[in-house]
Structure 1
Amino acid sequence: MNKKNLLAYGVVAVLFAVVGACTRKEQAAAPVTATAPAGVTGPVQTMFTQSLPDDKGVQQALSQWKGKPLVVNFWAPWCGPCVEEMPELSALQKSDAGKKVQVIGIGIDSPTNIADFAKKFNIAYPVYVAGMSGTDLSRQFGNAQGGLPFTVLIGADGQVKKTYLGRLKFDQLKADLANL
């Protein structure tokens, strides 16, 4: 093989690497949504067996939300996209749609950090402190990467209807809520 062919192969290899890296960045930037397989209830039942402290430190049974459609948002105060979507989640909870669905937040951080955050921002839905065990619970719902924010749409029947990884697109969420 001569130097011209070697150089040509090198240029082609670099081009493929650049295209691959750009494509991967575009895929990572878009929120991932998935429809759960019919009958998925295991993680929901696990969630309902838990009691977590709320932002005021009072233990709350998550089973209190059984039988109601839920938007379960896994978040952290240090997660920029999480913080950005919280006003919209609060607005959803306050809206007419919020009368048909309950938004709950499961915080992945220390009780102090979540309490301080809740005092600073006017969150219109219940916020619970799960610490790092919240990451484990989100993984049971299909969040293999453990990324935040991660949101789960659960029907009144206790089945996972859809999951969203990354900042929510509220037009899509509202359309999915209309289909419940």
Structure 2
Amino acid sequence: MPDVLAIGPLAVNAHVLVALAALLIGLMVTQGVARHLKTSDAGMGWLLLLAVVIARGSFLLRHLQEYREAPLSLFNLRDGGWDPISGWVAALLAMLWLTLRRRRRSLPLWAGLLSITLVAAGGQWFLWVQSRQRTLSQPALQRLPPMTLPALDGGMSDLRQWPGKPLLINFWASWCGPCVREMPILMAARQRYGNVQFVFVNQGESPAQVHTFLQREGLPTQDVLLDTQLALGRFFDVRGYPGTLLFDSSGQKIASWQGEFSQATLAEFLRALSAPAVASASSP
């Protein structure tokens, strides 16, 4: 998952860094233009708050059923459940309204909004180009490798033993807080998405550690594989946990996700199975 920057033990999502950089630059530009015009930069904070609320609310409405089943997940803002286009449109409409009322005072905000848009769009485009180049230059990394891993229940498991069925591989560890929080969601999702094979690949822990953890949490041991040497994790360049890959029924990688799932963001992630193009996604 190359869109993740590893800083020591921390894994930072590159898409999140782009968004934060865009916001910071936008605020700086707003303040600079306001000083130059000798006017106020008031309003940018409210504009950003409006965009965030609309972006979250739009995603919520699209996945209302999932949030009804797990209402507390609505407040988990780290789950990546945002609709940035809706947020941007809301900010644009608010700016048009403000311009009609106070044209001169709106100029710093227009400069800030334009800066945020250009930096965010440019950064995301750069990450997409880099991802596309890696896909073309390393086609082997876009397919399931001929690799077998020990299963916690015993025996060896071939990653390609489910032909004709989409496959979701979740990389996790028992010491990873987000992994622990999302594990019940993923385990339960196997019933809801029966057409998708879920596999949970533990990274670097012993069978005893994994078994003790699952027993303590009351989770099943089915489809839990052991990657004690991190071979599969290194093959796919997994730099932080939890990390999830999605493969179509032919074994082609079609989506990746870095971070914790909620029921809603998992449903959004699995929509890649019906999308015509390759998808990639991340959460903060």
Match of residue 247, structure 2, among 138, 148, 154:
154
Q: Which residue of 1 aligns with 2:140?
A: 42
SS in 2 for 1:173: helix
Query: Deviation per CA, 1:80-138, whole angstroms, max 9, x where unpaired?
Result: 1101101100111012x2x11011100011122112223332237510011132xx423
Alignment deviations for residues 28-57 of structure 1 (CA, whole Å, 9 cap, x no partner): x9568x9875787623332xx222111133
Match of 2:196, as an amino acid? V
Q: Contact 2:160–2:251 (CA<8 Å) still a contact in 1?
A: no
* TM value normalised by structure 1: 0.68
Aligned residue for 1:84? 181
Q: Which has the larger radius of gyration?
A: 2
Shift of 1:61: 2.1
1:141 aligns with 236
Residue in structure 1 matched with residue 160 of structure 2 by the alignment: 63
Task: Tell me the secondary structure at the aligned position of residue 67 of structure 1.
Answer: coil
Cα distance, 1:139 vs structure 2 = 4.1
TM-score, length basis structure 2? 0.45
Would you say the 8 A contact 2:201–2:224 is kept in 1? yes
Question: Unaligned regions of 5+ residues in structure 2, if any?
Answer: 1-16, 24-76, 81-126, 274-284
RMSD: 3.1
Change (3 A) 1:169 1:119: closer
Is contact 2:164-2:249 (8 Å) kept?
yes
Aligned length: 147
CA distance in 2, matches of 1:127, 1:172: 22
What SS does structure 1 have at the residue aligned with 2:233? helix
Structure 1 residue runs of 4+, over 4 Å off? Answer: 29-32, 34-41
Report the residue type matching 1:81 in the other structure.
P
Structure 1: distance between partners of 2:151 and 2:175: 18
Q: 1:166 aligns with which of 246, 255, 259?
A: 259
1:54 aligns with 2:151: yes
Q: Which residue of the partner structure matches residue 131 of structure 1?
A: 228
The answer for the alignment partner of 1:103 in structure 2 is 198
> Matched residue of 2:149: which SS?
strand
Higher strand share goes to which structure?
A: 1
Alignment correspondent of 1:12: none
Determine the C-alpha separation between the residues in 1 that align with 2:183 and 2:161: 22
The question of whether the paired residues in 2 share the 8 Å contact of 1:41 and 1:159 is answered with no
> Does the 8 Å CA contact 1:103/1:125 hold for their aligned counterparts?
no
Structure with the higher fraction of residues in helix conformation: 2
